[in-house]
Structure 1
Amino acid sequence: MNPNRARWAVLIIFAVHGSVTGSFASRLPWIADHVGVTSGQLGFALVMPAIGALCAMQFSAKLVQLMGGRLATQVLISAWCATLALPAFAPNLVVLSVMMLFAGACAGTADMAMNAEGVAVEGLLGRPIMSSLHGGWSVGGFLAGGLGALLAHRAIDARLHFTAVAVFLIIVGVTAGSFLPAGRKVPVGEKSGPAFSLPRGPVLIIGLVGFAAVFAEASSADWSALYLVQVLDAGEGAGALAYAFFAGAMTIARFVGDAVVRRFGAVRTTQVAGAVGTVGGVLVVVSWTPVVAMAGFVLIGVGIATVVPLAFSAAGHSTTDSVSSTNAIAGVATVAYGAGLAAPGIVGGIANVSSLTVSFGVVTVLVLIVALSAKALKPADKVSRSKPEPVLEPAIPSL
């Protein structure tokens, strides 16, 4: 197997995963109108994917171990792509919510599988790649979202849009997946770790670092625009720019992050990045003009961009056993992505009893905790010191 080809394959898988999210997000107004739901009802349905993902991730390690990394990634990414078409055909809120719950389960298990493959390819290459892989996810979401906006502008039916994109992405995902390392299958009956992927010990600490980073990311993504509008009396255009600058800064930082980690190591990179993100949080909290707040959100994006990829890498390289590695990655994913479910509500709840400024004070503290806890990610440095090892696989990859 060619490790460089596998690296591009897993990057494409990440982009495919992000493309499903971007496609769906771009047609939310159409779905709300088609199903006939209010903003509040749609908000309820949008909670379902996070719940589905959080629950399914508990079992994702078992799936990967039983099927092998390559086949599991192909099957799960295909399932995630296929669920894209479902919401467009929902006749009412109940059916939409059930579909979204199932879609979230597919998204979460596919996410865990592709991150496990990313860690495996990273080990083969002997250099950090996880940050750029997550950057690929962002690019996929951006491009798919742009296509969705164009099709929405032309009044193309979302049922046709989602179905065509789903079929295309399944083909791309399965084809790219054929170039991934197969991974070791754990025979039924052989000990393969706990049934539930709940992290313990050092892996739990890694997961909590990821939790803090995802909390800051989700809070900034969901509330940056409202912060400028409600706290600084900026226009909606300026609020949209705040989110765009934040997301853009994070994407760029992820693509350069691997080179930085390779040069300075995971711990030092996280310490400095966390400090940068903390400064950004302080700027947001004390901002007196929209420009200062935008600069703060840019720094937050730069500061947390590499943390979650490094958390997955640290979990995967915290053990040399492939089974334990898969369980560790699934455990970190469960804890870290739990923040994505908790953050919007917590930030809103704090804002209700105090203000959004206080909410982002809490976010700033969490980013500071990331910087102070950087040593937990030290296992991610193992990949830079490792030498690529040959992997024996069948000459023709199986699907």
Structure 2
Amino acid sequence: MTPRAATSVCFFVNGALVGTWVAQIPFVQQRFDVSKTTIGLVILFMAAGAFVAMPLTGQVLDRRSSARVLRAAALVYPPLILLPLGAPGPVTLAAALVVFGAANGAVDVSMNAHGVAVERAGGKPIMSSLHACWSFGGLAGAGAVAAAVALGADPRAVGAVAALVLWVVVALATSALGGVSLHAGPGERSPGFALPSRAVLLIGALCFLVMTTEGAVADWAGIYLTGEAGASRAASATGFAGFSLGMALARLAGDGLVERSSRRLVLVGGAALAAVSLATLLVTGQAAVAVVGFVLVGIGVANAVPLLFSAAGRVPPAGPSLAAAFTIGYLGFIAGPPVIGVLADAVTLPAALALVCAALVLVAALGGRAVGESRALGRHEPLIAERSSRSSGKA
């Protein structure tokens, strides 16, 4: 197995574990017999754990091989899903989700860091296809739980089987991650915790806007279809389903698009497409137009996060820079949708979603500066990565 294939498996496993957990949430709510508000607040503890782990993982990556960090985090991660599945009540569930979320955050940062390292060593873009593997992993995890429960299986037993299978898969894959390093040399390492540079803050801000868009569509597409566009309740899921499909397919094609054109064009053009598509569906207010529009929004934003993460991983010190961008972006995914909800109550949902259009326009306007085409992968970077891997030792 090549390092790229092994890294792809890590992305798939991470997505599958998240999908497995998300599919369990309705069963957890039923088992504890609590309100949606309560279960929503409890789930936020997973985000809290991730927020703590992400910058800490960045600091570890500043001093250790990304392959070693990813292998350690990935081996710990799958069994931890048993903690929230076995929690006897909401309080213990919250504590379990802090631990599970921390492991998720560590894997998220380290697998993206290693993806950047493999990309630099190979001299060709791969981040979009890696994120496509995450998307398909999430689909596989959630789909497996749904199918097994439909056949009469206990969802907690399904989660336990998934944990075992995914641990075996990731144990085999992480042994083939390779010895590439995220660092171009010792001078890239930071002396300790420090504020992100302006370049990283710009990348992080754009990640925040893009991931706010992703979260807004995930949480509000169905409500927009049924409440504003006149769609039936049965059709409410088609908005997010179309968005997810567009995103997955565009990520599969993203690396080829970058090779044939440029990072700048793919990021800026995609954000512009998403902004125009979202504005069009909001103006028309028609269900059929909205579904097509959400597909196009998914296509437009699909490659933004992979490209921005890749750009962050090229800003020294690479590990902390990537972790900072990831943490800022993740905040948008968590905090953005509730803000949209508050604004929707104050004005209307279409008016609130219009702010997402404005966010996408900003991504289109500033995206070229963020990806820094002058820092794009060059023909000499594989040599730098090889020298770095020899100097850093065995992964």
Task: Please indicate the TM-score interval, normalised by the length of the shorter structure.
Answer: over 0.9
> 1:362 maps to which residue?
355
Select 1:160's aligned residue among 157, 160, 163: 157
Select 2:313's aligned residue among 312, 316, 338: 316
Confirm or deny: 8 A CA contact 1:81 1:166 kept in the other structure. Answer: yes
Select 2:80's aligned residue among 80, 83, 87: 83
1:253-272 matched pairs, under 5 angstroms: 253-272=250-269
Confirm or deny: 8 A CA contact 1:52 1:102 kept in the other structure. Answer: yes
**What 5-or-longer segments of structure 2 have no aligned partner?**
none
Does 2:31 correspond to 1:38? no
Select 2:114's aligned residue among 100, 117, 120: 117
> 1:218 maps to which residue?
215
Does 2:100 correspond to 1:103? yes
> 2:198 maps to which residue?
201
Confirm or deny: 8 A CA contact 1:279 1:299 kept in the other structure. Answer: no
Counterpart code for 1:228: L
Confirm or deny: 8 A CA contact 1:228 1:239 kept in the other structure. Answer: yes
Counterpart code for 1:206: I
> 1:140 maps to which residue?
137
Hey, what's the Cα distance between the residues in 1 that align with 2:45 and 2:188?
33
Task: Call closer, same or farther: CA 1:185–1:385 in 2, change over 3 Å.
Answer: closer
Deviation string, structure 1 residues 67-117 (Cα, Å, up to 9, x no partner): 421121112122221221111111111111111122111111110000000
The Cα of 1:371 is off from its aligned counterpart by 0.5
Hey, what's the Cα distance between the residues in 2 that align with 1:145 and 1:6?
27
The Cα of 1:18 is off from its aligned counterpart by 0.1
Does 2:23 correspond to 1:7? no
Select 1:58's aligned residue among 44, 55, 58: 55
> 2:123 maps to which residue?
126
Confirm or deny: 8 A CA contact 2:53 2:106 kept in the other structure. Answer: yes
TM-score, structure 2 length as denominator?
0.92
Hey, what's the Cα distance between the residues in 2 that align with 1:185 and 1:288?
47
Confirm or deny: 8 A CA contact 2:231 2:287 kept in the other structure. Answer: yes
Query: Greater shift after overlay, 170-179 or 331-340?
Result: 170-179
Aligned length: 387
Hey, what's the Cα distance between the residues in 2 that align with 1:384 and 1:92?
49
The Cα of 1:288 is off from its aligned counterpart by 2.5
> 1:391 maps to which residue?
386
Confirm or deny: 8 A CA contact 2:182 2:319 kept in the other structure. Answer: no
> 2:245 maps to which residue?
248
Deviation string, structure 1 residues 271-321 (Cα, Å, up to 9, x no partner): 2111101111102321231011112211211111111100111111234xx
Hey, what's the Cα distance between the residues in 2 that align with 1:197 and 1:137?
30
Hey, what's the Cα distance between the residues in 1 that align with 2:211 and 2:319?
20
The Cα of 1:259 is off from its aligned counterpart by 0.7
Hey, what's the Cα distance between the residues in 2 that align with 1:214 and 1:307?
9
**What 5-or-longer segments of structure 1 have no aligned partner?**
none
The Cα of 1:354 is off from its aligned counterpart by 0.8
Confirm or deny: 8 A CA contact 1:260 1:269 kept in the other structure. Answer: yes
In the TM superposition, structure 1's runs of 4+ consecutive aligned residues that sit over 6 Å from their partners are none
Task: Call closer, same or farther: CA 1:197–1:109 in 2, change over 3 Å.
Answer: farther
Hey, what's the Cα distance between the residues in 1 that align with 2:20 and 2:175?
24
Hey, what's the Cα distance between the residues in 2 that align with 1:43 and 1:93?
11
Query: Greater shift after overlay, 152-161 or 272-281?
Result: 152-161
Confirm or deny: 8 A CA contact 2:62 2:318 kept in the other structure. Answer: no
RMSD across aligned C-alpha pairs, in angstroms? Answer: 2.2
User: What percentage of residue pairs aligned between the two structures are identical?
Assistant: 29
Hey, what's the Cα distance between the residues in 1 that align with 2:211 and 2:337?
11
TM-score, structure 1 length as denominator?
0.91
Hey, what's the Cα distance between the residues in 2 that align with 1:117 and 1:185?
7
Counterpart code for 1:23: T
The Cα of 1:181 is off from its aligned counterpart by 3.0
Counterpart code for 2:359: L
Hey, what's the Cα distance between the residues in 1 that align with 2:194 and 2:19?
28
Hey, what's the Cα distance between the residues in 1 that align with 2:113 and 2:140?
25
> 2:231 maps to which residue?
234
Counterpart code for 1:363: V
Hey, what's the Cα distance between the residues in 2 that align with 1:121 and 1:185?
8
